[in-house]
Amino acid sequence: MKTSIIGYPRIGSQRELKFATEGYLRNPSQELELHTVASQLRKSNWQVQSGYNIDFLPSNDFSFYDQMLDTAVLLNVVPDRYKSLNLSALGTYFAMARGYQGEQGDVTALPMKKWFRTNYHYLVPEISDTTAISMTGTKPFVEYQEAEKLGITTKPVIIGAYTFIKLARIRGNKSVEDFVPDLITAYKAIIHQFDQLGALWIQFDEPALVMDLSDYDRHLMSMIYRGILAFKGNCRVLLQTYFGDIRDCYKDLLSLSFDAIGLDFVEGDQSLALIKRYGFPEGKTLFAGLVNGKNIWKNDYDQTRSLITEISRYCHDVVINTSCSLLHVPYSLKNEKNLPIDSKGLFAFAEEKLAELHHLKLLMSDYHPDADAIKRKRESKKICRGCSNDIDIQKTLSQLSEDDYIRKPDYDTRRIIQKNHLKLPVLPVTTIGSFPQSRDVQRVRSAFKKGKIDKAKYDDYIHHLVADCIAVQEEIGLDVLVHGEFERDDMVAFFAEKLNGFLLTDNGWVQSYGTRCVKPPLIWGDVSRSKPMTVDDIVYAQSLSRKPVKGMLTGPVTLLNWSFNREDIPLKTIALQIALAIRTEVLDLEDAGISIIQIDEAAFREKLPLRKRDWHREYLEWAISAFRLVHSGVLPTTQIHTHMCYSEFEDIIGDIERMDADVFSFESSRSDLSIVQALKRSGFQSDVGPGLYDIHSPRVPGVAEMKQVLMKILDIIPIEQVWANPDCGLKTRELQETLLSLKNLVLAVGEVRRQKEVLK
């Protein structure tokens, strides 16, 4: 039996690619340095993978920013507005990723969306009537040859044609079908080129096949692949699916001339049932996703081996594979020095998963001398996927009643009470929470964590920053202030560090988008709160202003979704445990006199099942309950905000309203305000703050531009219901650009307020 991986992390175990990219972005003359770092990272990945004797090593899983963007460039799907900037190839690429503002012009970035149910974000390719899809890029071939020069044969990985066209945004009058002939020609050219290079295999990633597929989708997929597979040369084609099973199109795939099909047996509930029911074609290879690419618990070898045995009854050529790309887990446990001794044996990060693939291969070949040793070593360790250790919290959870999830009085009544209590102007201006963080803050925070400075000094330092932040906001003229979140390096890790039941890693970085990485905490025990986590800082900030300062918390669904979760109890139970902990914090903030509390649910949608029919049964009900449990105990005067970003919310607007917050802010500037239309359509009653500008880009939006966006919103939603804010936290931005943007925002709102007043 052979082993394979779908893809590997690429940002560098010490985030080398992030720093090199940021260096280049500050100073484009450093392009060569960036390329050097990139090729070193690719080389070291291949070497590590070879070290574990993986048989199918991926190439082209590297990316400077995102693999969908890479595919767009490969296929000449570059909108004219970027081409006409006349930048270098890499310059154009980053202009699409991040927007561009400079001597050559001023353009916004492509929209960014969540990659299925992960915290990775991809750029949405844009196809217009004038787009001429054709294979014009070279990256996959260059990287294939680069590996070859190192003596390594790789299996190039490319986003498949169906997923590409399904996720792209088609603007204009043409329909998907109009682009299919060119798309087929382009993919044929890709195969042809690899065939010329002598590649043995090529992997087309088709995660979009695990979604609900209509008859039209199935027809489209078959049409595309019948066309593409007409030419293969000597190159074999693997159709790789992941993030679920492909129950809607499995049968269709069997009749297409793929040489191998990759199925996910971890998240794909039906994968086994599908091969049992419909069989697996003789002569084809099954790449079986058995090692979880999305979570960090050790593989249960016994269970996996019996699964492989079962699979082998239906299919004779099985390759042991990861369930998805390892992009979604950290590099290696080798970089962790501070995990508790008793926990370390429970986890497997990317490199350890390579070892697991190798072990499984040995274990499946009964005669191998190492197999026994592996078996003995594994048997001596209990396979554990979480630990229950807090009887009190289990008891509290079991005693919750319906009423604990219902806030009183109802929204309409609260709304009037809060308007009178808070007396905010029309179109209140606020921010989403964090302010830019200088290198200094990061240094001081890390010195404090390492015990190099004491708590009094640290608090003093943070308080200075908070004071400056409040002063700046007063000066700019914002209406509802924030303390700036200087004490937090990450909205999830900050709480995870303080709550019981979570573990933090030193270097467990996972790419979120572009150069941005997160360190997801590991939930391994029952979650509870020992003492207040945010009250001191917020109360201090509030003491400096007569304007309301928002309490700032991360919600239970996001804390869960942005952590690696335990697998021994249901997600619902974990979410409710976290909700109880955050609830006590909300009540403490209220007791301390804070009148507006924001509970961020940036990742609210993340674990929503990919198939619609499973949404309510499996997910939304408990996610909404967990959020409601957090705030159901507050006074009518306390205004509860929540902030949601990065994903599409349009199809769950009704559910979002059931979260029963008073004010919702949405990321929307990169999705053309379509959320606003959806809010209108659904008759959304609560206050809303659709983001007025994109904070993921360094460009400073002008007054007229934001005014125009705001006017567009006000054409759709009554002014009494609208807030004005950026579309997300400002932490990743530079201070100067932020101040300019916020000043422009306040000016834009001022103009709109005056204009509306005149019209009255």
Residue 729 beta carbon to Zn ion: minimum distance, rounded to whole angstroms: 6
**728 lies in the site for Zn ion, by CB under 5 A:** yes
**557 lies in the site for ligand GLN, by CB under 6 A:** no
Nearest residue (CB) to ligand GLN, 433 versus 501: 433
Nearest residue (CB) to Zn ion, 577 versus 669: 669
Nearest residue (CB) to ligand GLN, 552 versus 571: 552
Select the residue interacting with Zn ion from 54, 263, 645, 752 (CB under 5 A): 645
Query: What does residue 611 show for φ and ψ, rounded to 5 degrees?
Result: -95, 130
Q: Do 672 and 648 form a contact (C-beta atoms < 8 A)?
A: no
Q: Do 305 and 364 form a contact (C-beta atoms < 8 A)?
A: yes
**432 lies in the site for ligand GLN, by CB under 6 A:** yes
Site for Zn ion in 591-630 (CB under 5 A): 602
Residue 552 beta carbon to ligand GLN: minimum distance, rounded to whole angstroms: 6
Residue 580 beta carbon to ligand GLN: minimum distance, rounded to whole angstroms: 21
Residue showing the smallest CB distance to ligand GLN in the complex: 729
Select the residue interacting with ligand GLN from 206, 217, 267, 485 (CB under 6 A): 485
Q: Give the containing element (helix H, strand E) for 568.
A: none
Q: Which does 503 bind (CB under 5 to 8 A by kind): ligand GLN, Zn ion, none?
A: none
The answer for 99, left when phi > 0, alpha when psi is -120 to 50, beta otherwise, is left
**689 lies in the site for ligand GLN, by CB under 6 A:** no
**248 lies in the site for ligand GLN, by CB under 6 A:** no
Q: Give the containing element (helix H, strand E) for 564.
A: none
Nearest residue (CB) to Zn ion, 82 versus 115: 115
Please tell me the distance from the alpha carbon of residue 523 to that of residue 529, in angstroms, as a whole number. Answer: 14
**629 lies in the site for ligand GLN, by CB under 6 A:** no
Q: Which does 491 bind (CB under 5 to 8 A by kind): ligand GLN, Zn ion, none?
A: ligand GLN
**Residues β-bridged to residue 688:** 664, 722
**481 lies in the site for ligand GLN, by CB under 6 A:** no
Residue 666 beta carbon to Zn ion: minimum distance, rounded to whole angstroms: 9
**267 lies in the site for ligand GLN, by CB under 6 A:** no
Q: How many CB atoms lie within 10 A of CB 345?
A: 15
**602 lies in the site for ligand GLN, by CB under 6 A:** yes
Q: Which does 434 bind (CB under 5 to 8 A by kind): ligand GLN, Zn ion, none?
A: ligand GLN
Q: What is the DSSP letter of 600?
A: E
> What value does the CA radius of gyration of the chain take, rounded to a whole number of Å?
26
Q: How many CB atoms lie within 10 A of CB 439?
A: 7
Q: Do 219 and 255 form a contact (C-beta atoms < 8 A)?
A: no
H runs (alpha helix) in 99-160: 139-149
Nearest residue (CB) to ligand GLN, 573 versus 669: 669
Nearest residue (CB) to Zn ion, 203 versus 668: 668
Residue 601 beta carbon to ligand GLN: minimum distance, rounded to whole angstroms: 8
CA distances from 647 to 260, 321, 386, 662, 680 (A): 32, 29, 29, 21, 18
Q: What is the DSSP letter of 154?
A: E
Please tell me the distance from the alpha carbon of residue 329 to that of residue 382, in angstroms, as a whole number. Answer: 22
**Residues β-bridged to residue 238:** 203, 260
Which residue stretch of 104-112, 323-331, 650-658, 723-731 sits at the interface with ligand GLN (rule: CB under 6 A)?
723-731
Nearest residue (CB) to ligand GLN, 415 versus 731: 731
Q: How many CB atoms lie within 10 A of CB 443?
A: 11
Please tell me the distance from the alpha carbon of residue 532 to that of residue 584, in angstroms, as a whole number. Answer: 8
Q: What is the DSSP letter of 110?
A: P
Look at residues 579, 645, 576 and name the one whose alpha carbon lies nearest to residue 606: 645
**Residues β-bridged to residue 319:** 2, 287
**296 lies in the site for Zn ion, by CB under 5 A:** no
**444 lies in the site for ligand GLN, by CB under 6 A:** no
**630 lies in the site for ligand GLN, by CB under 6 A:** no
**441 lies in the site for ligand GLN, by CB under 6 A:** no
**552 lies in the site for ligand GLN, by CB under 6 A:** yes
Residue 704 tokens read as 């007229």
Which residue stretch of 156-164, 197-205, 639-647, 671-679 sits at the interface with Zn ion (rule: CB under 5 A)?
639-647
Please tell me the distance from the alpha carbon of residue 35 to that of residue 21, in angstroms, as a whole number. Answer: 9
Binding mask 499-538 for ligand GLN (x = CB under 6 A): ----------------------------------------
Residue 481 beta carbon to ligand GLN: minimum distance, rounded to whole angstroms: 13
Q: How many CB atoms lie within 10 A of CB 718?
A: 8
How many helices (H) and strands (E) are present in the chain, helices listed first? 28, 23
Look at residues 2, 49, 561 and name the one whose alpha carbon lies nearest to residue 350: 49
What amino acid positions are annotated as catalytic residues? Answer: 696
Nearest residue (CB) to ligand GLN, 623 versus 728: 728
CA distances from 382 to 290, 292, 293, 297, 393 (A): 19, 18, 21, 12, 25
Residue 533 beta carbon to ligand GLN: minimum distance, rounded to whole angstroms: 14
Q: What is the DSSP letter of 606?
A: T
Residue 377 beta carbon to Zn ion: minimum distance, rounded to whole angstroms: 44
Residue 728 beta carbon to ligand GLN: minimum distance, rounded to whole angstroms: 5
**675 lies in the site for Zn ion, by CB under 5 A:** no
Nearest residue (CB) to ligand GLN, 154 versus 434: 434
Nearest residue (CB) to Zn ion, 427 versus 728: 728
Q: How many residues bind ligand GLN (CB under 6 A)?
A: 13
Query: What does residue 454 show for φ and ψ, rounded to 5 degrees?
Result: -85, 170
**728 lies in the site for ligand GLN, by CB under 6 A:** yes
Please tell me the distance from the alpha carbon of residue 274 to that of residue 256, in angstroms, as a whole number. Answer: 16
**553 lies in the site for Zn ion, by CB under 5 A:** no
Please tell me the distance from the alpha carbon of residue 740 to that of residue 42, in angstroms, as a whole number. Answer: 39
* Site residues (vs Zn ion, CB under 5 A): 602, 645, 728
Binding site for ligand GLN (CB under 6 A): 432-434, 485, 491, 552, 600, 602, 643, 645, 728-729, 731
